[in-house]
Amino acid sequence: MGCESCGSGGGKPAGCKSNGNCSTGGCNKLNTFDWLTTYDINDIDEFNIVEVSFKKGTHKYFYRKPERLDVSTGDMVTVDTGNGFDVGQISLSGELVKLQLKKKNISLQNSFNRIIRTATDKDLTSNDRAREVEKRTLVRARAIARSLDLDMKISDIEYQADLKKATFYFIANGRVDFRELIKQYAREFHIKVEMRQIGSRQESALVGGIGSCGRELCCSTWLTNFSSVTTSAARYQNLALNQSKLTGQCGRLKCCLNYELDMYIEALREYPSKAKYIKTKIGSAELVKTDIFKRTMYYSFTDKMGKTTILALDPQTVKKILQANRNNELPDQFEEKQFVDFSEQNIEVGFEENLTGIIELPEEKKQKKKRRGNRSNKRNKGPRKNQRNKNNRSNNGKGKQSKK
């Protein structure tokens, strides 16, 4: 999927115009924009640690850059992983890496692996071959896990460019004894196996997809910290507790429920608390909904005749009624909020044609309900009556014979 600034070539995104490349099969998968590289500035004291992105932004690590190597943001490099080599793309370099290290609480005293060289054609070919092997391995790995009756799901597999090590990402409800599984994988694929358990939200970030909003998933594009989401966030925003609409593709509550929650909580501070019920001389009303955009509180009122109406009250009016109720006083009536009726104003709305009276909907024909129960009873009455007459005749015949 490409954004508006992407051109299309061969059915694939040709690259974003802002940074010159598309980091994923989508538009931006945990990518970063190194804005310092756009300025022609020579850094005298250059920072020798860079951020390298692997598998089109699936994960990132920090590596130490040798002084003799002249690489910058966007270059493909071959790095030493400690168990071989891998190929990635430099996503950040220079002073911005210090901010990224501070954000992730990584100390500069840590030992970082080094960059070996700029990626050659042979390295890039090996990296492409590793991406192709992952698809076949994923199918076979799931079949092996199913044959061992393990309660787990293999979500994704990531090979190193040298095809000597692979990381298997899986989700499970609890702890899984996969010692036998690792032996099977090592015997089948002839690689070093690393198992890494992830959550359902991390799985959605790895796989990616399109949300109900029509955009790429936040967890696969920019969201890295998964905060807990509860149904109280939906209640604050007066959203219907519909599970199918509130849950995302990961099966959990959508992360975007927390985006505007602070604004709702701050706005609700201006509204009266403990205003579930208010009383006047004509009766009491119960709170139904609070609309912070219209600054209106809707109450349900039932009169003496049993008729229920919805009252739209201003928050200040509700505060006055509550204050009077605390003083054991009852106002005369509810003062409803007055809305502007645009129908009374002379506002001309331009339409190409007035369709009133041109389109007529056909009347719905009401079908008569068939009473199946009554017909069955009528049908059964005849045989039952004849049976009763036969029984009576037989009893009368027996009685006459006994008298004789």
Flag whether 221 is in a domain.
no
- Find the CATH number of the domain harbouring 169: 3.30.300.20
Model pLDDT, residue 64: 93
Are 29 and 98 in the same domain?
A: yes
Query: Is there a single domain that holds both residue 255 and residue 284?
Result: no
Distance separating alpha carbons of residues 332 and 182, to the nearest angstrom: 78
Instruction: Give the span between the Cα atoms of 208 and 29, in whole angstroms.
Output: 9
- Asked whether residue 156 is assigned to any structural domain, the reply reads yes
Strand-pairing partners, residue 231, are none
CA 285, 286, 287, 288 torsion-angle sign: negative
Q: Which residues of 142-181 are buried (b: 16+ CB within 10 A; e: fewer)?
A: bebbeeeebebebbbbbbbbbbebbbbbbbeeeebebeeb
Please indicate, yes or no, if residue 112 is contained in any of the structural domains: yes
Q: Identify the helix (H) or strand (E) that includes residue 204.
A: helix 200-207
CB contact set of 85 (below 8 Å; sequence gap of 6+): 78, 79, 116, 123, 160, 161, 162
Q: Does 321 fall in a domain?
A: yes
The pair of structure tokens assigned to 320 is: 């006055």
Tens digit of each residue's pLDDT (9 = 90 or more) over 196-240: 999 888 888 888 888 888 888 888 888 888 888 988 899 888 888
Inside any domain, residue 200: yes
89 and 41 part of one domain: yes
Q: Residues 91, 131: one domain?
A: no
Q: Are residues 101 and 26 in the same domain?
A: yes
Q: Out of 88, 117, 146, pick the residue that ends a domain.
A: 117
Same domain, 155 and 78: no
Cα separation, 184 vs 142, whole angstroms: 12
Domain boundary among 117, 137, 152: 117
Q: Distance between CA 241 and CA 398 in Å, rounded?
A: 74
CA-CA distance, 339 to 324, in Å (whole number)?
A: 25
DSSP one-letter code for 29: S
CA distance 190 to 140: 13
168 and 194 Cβ atoms separated by less than 8 Å: yes
Mean pLDDT of the chain: 80
Tokens of 83: 């168990």
Number of domains observed in the structure of the chain: 4
- Rounded to whole angstroms, the maximal C-alpha distance in the chain is 138
Minimum mean pLDDT range among 24-28, 134-138, 274-278, 371-375: 24-28
Residue 31 has pLDDT above 50, yes or no: yes
Residues 154 and 198 in one domain: yes
Of residues 185, 199, 188, 191, the one with CA closest to residue 160: 191
Token pair 């209106």 in the structure block, residue: 296
Instruction: Assess whether 39 and 112 both reside in one domain.
Output: yes
Exposure b/e, 235-268, CB count within 10 A at least 16 = b: ebeeeeeeeeebebbbebbbbbbeeebeeeeeee
Higher pLDDT: 76 or 2? It is 76
Q: Does 182 fall in a domain?
A: yes
Same domain, 97 and 61: yes
The residue with tokens 């190193």 is 160
Q: Are residues 65 and 89 in the same domain?
A: yes
Domain that holds residue 73: 19-117
The C-alpha atoms of residue 11 and residue 333 are separated, in whole angstroms, by 67
What is the pLDDT confidence band of residue 42, given thresholds at 50, 70 and 90?
A: low
Range with the poorest average pLDDT among 39-53, 194-208, 226-240, 328-342: 328-342
CA distances (Å), origin 270, targets 239, 263, 316: 20, 12, 9
pLDDT at 332: 83
Tell me: the pLDDT tens digits for 79-113?
A: 999 888 999 999 888 888 888 898 888 888 888 99
If you compute the radius of gyration of the chain from its CA atoms, what whole number of angstroms results? 36
* Angle 331-335-340 from CA coordinates, rounded to 5°: 170
Please name the residues in contact with 286: beta carbons below 8 A apart, sequence gap of 6 or more. Answer: 276, 277, 299, 300
The reply to whether 248 falls in a domain is yes
- Tell me, yes or no, whether 80 lies in a domain: yes
| Whether residues 152 and 172 fall in one domain | yes
Contacts of 314 (CB under 8 A, 6+ apart): 295, 296, 297, 335, 337
Helix (H, G, I), strand (E, B) or coil at 258: helix
Same domain, 110 and 135: no
Pull the structure tokens for residue 207.
């796989």
pLDDT in tens, 235-256: 888 888 888 889 998 889 999 9
How confident is the model at residue 71, as a pLDDT? 87
Burial 342-356 (b: 16+ CB within 10 A, else e): eeeeeeeeeeeeeee
